[in-house]
Amino acid sequence: MSTHRRIDINAEVKSAIEELLSGLHHSSLFALIADSLGKLPPSLKLPESNIIGIFHVGSGSVEAEPKPETELWSEMRETFVQYCIRYAIVAMITSSELYLQRLYFLAELAKVVTHCGGTIKGEMFHEIKSRCAKKFRHSSVDGLVEETFNSIGLTTPNLSLLESFRSIYGLRKCLVHRGGIIGREDVDDRGGLTALWQKPVLSVNGKDVASLPLRVDKGQTVDVRFVYERREWHPGDELQLTTENCQHIAITLGQFGKELGGELINGIHTMLTSKPH
């Protein structure tokens, strides 16, 4: 016997946006925590490990005198924060990819649900889910973005946000496949890897704020605007990013995701209002 599912697409889209923003927030927070840990005083007593000594033992005899753990921790401190920032950026892009997949699935689902009183047969639901999963396996991120645009009926995307998303994904490919060292595969027609993201600029009474925290007196006007920041690297360069960059990347991916989600909700509204009575 066929079962029916009742689905509120609007609620599902809002849930997807919340999940995306939560993932981005946790990843950016991870980078901030790592930055704080990297600033711990060298004198702080850290956990001891026998692994370091074991690595220096070969054929039953000690091949070399292992470095003191305090020295190893000091060396590790220099790279620790960068490793964590890289991990956070890869995690952010993963959250965005999963969000795009979910949004595409909801857009395909909406085409059926909005014309069936908000319900769908179980078999049809799983058929659409299976079809979308197959498409995800064979689509590049650019292809997935384009398919999602087409599915939600978005013909005029925010080109700056789209360029930002694609450029940030370029960072992920370099980090995952080349350990953050720019290769020939990463560069564009201009010979470099370019990343573009939004950053907030805070102003008080029309004057930009140089650093935070800042005391604001009663009666002063506080405004926030977003500007685009561009970074560029060339073959052989190493991607060096800060926790502040990480926050800006999270903001940009969140803005991109919210805009796409809003377009899907608008598209559903259009489908419902144009539905013949």
Q: How far apart are CA 174 and CA 187, in angstroms?
A: 10
If one compares 58 and 26, the residue with the highest pLDDT of the two is 26
- pLDDT, tens digit, for every residue of 91-127? 999 999 999 999 889 888 888 887 777 788 888 888 9
Number of Cβ within 10 Å of residue 66's Cβ equals: 15
Q: How many structural domains comprise the chain?
A: 1
Is residue 17 within 8 A of residue 261, CB to CB? The reply is: yes
> Domain limits at 221?
4-274
Determine how β-strand 119-121 pairs with β-strand 4-6. antiparallel
Measured CA distances, 107 to 11, 58, 192 (Å): 13, 58, 35
Residue 20 has pLDDT above 60, yes or no: yes
Q: How far apart are CA 268 and CA 263, in angstroms?
A: 9
Nearest to 108 by CA among 225, 239, 264, 275: 264
Residue 32 has pLDDT above 80, yes or no: yes
- pLDDT, tens digit, for every residue of 4-16? 778 888 899 999 9
